[in-house]
A and B are shown apart, each in its own frame.
Chain A
């Protein structure tokens, strides 16, 4: 007879974007021993475990309906930091915010960051995040020197590119389905200033948009595009591209000052409005026609060619400084659809996607483009090409329609040789996953999982959806 799990651990958890909810029993282990105890307990009770860090996946990656959530956010200590070499070792719950706060004053910056700094290192490795410099620096996994992990079998392993290489390249990108990181050692990137030189310029259509991302890559450290999801016809894919580069040693007169934390973050009010309530002023725009106007205004505003300096934090984490921005999408929340396409097929496929979204009356409120290069992690999402992330507002009445459209998107993307990123993907089926990853990759992942997790203790709603 199994013992029921304690109801006091029950909680309703959400995704980033507040569009999904799931009930689960939450455990917050403080060390490796407690992680092992949760594995043992789950095995005895026949319950599945999903790992969760900051819960910043846009989809069901850190949700586990009816099962256990192992929340690692409290294991967030920095274990070692060497300001001479830029090598840091930390527990998996340390956030990117905690990371850059620790290293910037010493002249270092994380080599790869996501669009929010609230993510944890464990989550970043599990999803193998990329930043606006993917074309240059690859995903975060390429900057991991070593990690230690505990497997569901109870075994503890140390992995690096040269030691247990197969586990190294699969636990990074493995969605937290093979084991739990217990310490992560990363190489930071040296910077000479707390500022970036940013060049912002308009692009009139999709072709010019992708060309600009491509052309600016060799001379930039970061490139990113904003895409107007409402524009159709000749202006389809129009937007604004931001290309940024690090400052050289002699360009910043006072690097010690620009690298201080207080000079990185945004002021507490924006245009006189306290940041905490700024989202409230955005809510009237949650209706499509108004949001279309916002996009058009933004495009016209961005027609100026601008060069300016911006702090690292402001460049990367702008949305973190507008707390609760996702509430601006209304009660139904939002979902993000990101596809990665080879440079040869991207323009054609995204023209189809955007046209389809206009035809179905489900235009994207925000589109973001990036330039990418491939990597050799097992469940890689990268390609030699581009990515386009589209935000969609979710309402009770559009869920079914949106779901159908995203599945139709999937077919277009896979047919064009595209791939998906598992922290954002939402409606993809197991069949589609197999098509884009390939049978061999799926089987290799399964074989590894049988080895590290023979009792299938680690499962998430995401895993069940795309691998079963």
Chain B
């Protein structure tokens, strides 16, 4: 673990503090950069140490002080989460915002049935999220303050032929976040569910998506998410026009939907 020493605060210039899980690339890295720019001290977590470090260095160079610190962590290492959360909040001097962004997608062909791949996605996208969200929720519940952001996906809104387990993992996350919102709103904690559409990230490349539209960069996605954090929104689609499209898609009757190729 690196020497962890965040930029200091003074009484009149306190620093907001955030944790971003899954910050080595894509939306997580972009959001971490954005949060640092907005004055946050940010703890960055990911499995890939080299990439994580370079995101950190980039942020600290841009801000001119230690605003980001890297913690190498595999979200499947569920048992280590509580102690790590404790340590990071001690290093940060508290916690105001928690973001779970980690997600993987294995490409499954239409006629393939692959438990190993399905399991891996559930373990990272869903169980990993639950391992973090539980202690974070307990902490915010005690504090009667805080904000939780879960990066889910439009993919969680329907089960499609091409991504059964990915859809399931994100649907589960969306539902879990909704339940968490219902449990925590009364304690003054805001829970934001983010459903990105096509964002130009490693996942999209790995998924080999051929027909993309409304494609945005991770930085554009981070802009939208930041505005939603700032205004304490509940659920957002990124970019916004997906809300309308998904409303339509969610209402396509099964008799038609099961014959579609996407």
B94 within 8 A of A: yes
Residues A7 and B8 in contact in the complex (CB < 8 Å), given A47-B90, A65-B94: no
A20 within 8 A of B: yes
Specify which of A4, A65, A403, A406 is in contact with B86 (CB 8 Å cutoff): A4
Question: Across the interface, which residues of B come within 8 angstroms of A294, CB to CB?
Answer: none
Closest to A407 in B: B10
Interface 9-residue window, one of B11-19, B29-37, B229-237, B240-248 = B11-19
Question: Across the interface, which residues of B come within 8 angstroms of A10, CB to CB?
Answer: 139, 142-143
- A45→B138 CA distance, assembly (Å): 19
Query: Which residues in window 51-110 of B have CB below 8 A to A?
Result: 82-83, 85-87, 89-95
A23 touches B95 (CB 8 A): yes
B164 within 8 A of A: no
Interface 9-residue window, one of A193-201, A209-217, A394-402 = A394-402
Closest to A65 in B: B93
Contact with B along A56-71 (1 / 0, CB 8 A): 0001100001110000
Query: Which residues in window 128-178 of A have CB below 8 A to B?
Result: none
B142 touches A7 (CB 8 A): yes
Question: Across the interface, which residues of B come within 8 angstroms of A21, CB to CB?
Answer: 14
A37 within 8 A of B: no
Interface 9-residue window, one of A11-19, A182-190, A370-378 = A11-19
- A245→B141 CA distance, assembly (Å): 53
Question: Across the interface, which residues of A come within 8 angstroms of B94, CB to CB?
Answer: 22-24, 65-66
A427 within 8 A of B: yes
A2 touches B144 (CB 8 A): no
Query: Which residues in window 44-58 of A have CB below 8 A to B?
Result: 45-48
B83 touches A427 (CB 8 A): no
The minimal Cβ–Cβ distance linking B239 to chain A, given in whole angstroms, is 30
A12 touches B144 (CB 8 A): yes
Contact with B along A455-468 (1 / 0, CB 8 A): 00000010011001
- A67→B88 CA distance, assembly (Å): 11
The minimal Cβ–Cβ distance linking B180 to chain A, given in whole angstroms, is 15
- A65→B17 CA distance, assembly (Å): 11
Residues A66 and B85 in contact in the complex (CB < 8 Å), given A7-B138, A12-B143, A23-B143: no
Question: Across the interface, which residues of A come within 8 angstroms of B93, CB to CB?
Answer: 22, 65-67, 461
A66 touches B13 (CB 8 A): no
Task: From B8, B12, B89, B94, name the one whose CB has the most chain A CB atoms within 10 angstroms.
Answer: B12
- A7→B135 CA distance, assembly (Å): 9
A contact residues, total (Cβ < 8 Å): 41
B11 touches A335 (CB 8 A): yes
Question: Across the interface, which residues of B come within 8 angstroms of A24, CB to CB?
Answer: 94
Question: Across the interface, which residues of A come within 8 angstroms of B85, CB to CB?
Answer: 4
B12 touches A403 (CB 8 A): yes
B83 touches A4 (CB 8 A): yes
Question: Across the interface, which residues of A come within 8 angstroms of B142, CB to CB?
Answer: 7-11
Specify which of A7, A19, A46 is in contact with B141 (CB 8 Å cutoff): A7
Contact with B along A86-110 (1 / 0, CB 8 A): 0000000000000000000000000
The minimal Cβ–Cβ distance linking B72 to chain A, given in whole angstroms, is 17
Contact with A along B1-27 (1 / 0, CB 8 A): 000000011111110000000000000
- A429→B9 CA distance, assembly (Å): 10
The minimal Cβ–Cβ distance linking A208 to chain B, given in whole angstroms, is 32
A447 within 8 A of B: no
B145 within 8 A of A: yes
The minimal Cβ–Cβ distance linking B93 to chain A, given in whole angstroms, is 3
A12 touches B86 (CB 8 A): no
Residues A12 and B10 in contact in the complex (CB < 8 Å), given A65-B94, A66-B93, A66-B94: no
Residues of B whose CB lies within 8 Å of any CB of A are 8-14, 82-83, 85-87, 89-95, 135, 138-139, 141-145
User: What 3 A-B pairs are tightest by C-beta distance, nearest first?
Assistant: A65-B93, A10-B142, A403-B12
List 17 A-B residue pairs with CB atoms under 8 Å apart, sorted by A's residue number. A1-B83, A2-B83, A4-B135, A7-B142, A9-B142, A10-B142, A12-B144, A22-B93, A23-B89, A46-B87, A60-B11, A65-B92, A66-B90, A66-B91, A66-B95, A429-B10, A461-B9
Q: A46-B87, A65-B92 are in contact. List 17 more A-B contacts (CB 8 A).
A: A2-B87, A7-B138, A7-B141, A10-B143, A11-B142, A12-B144, A19-B11, A23-B95, A23-B143, A66-B91, A335-B12, A399-B12, A403-B12, A426-B10, A461-B11, A464-B8, A465-B8
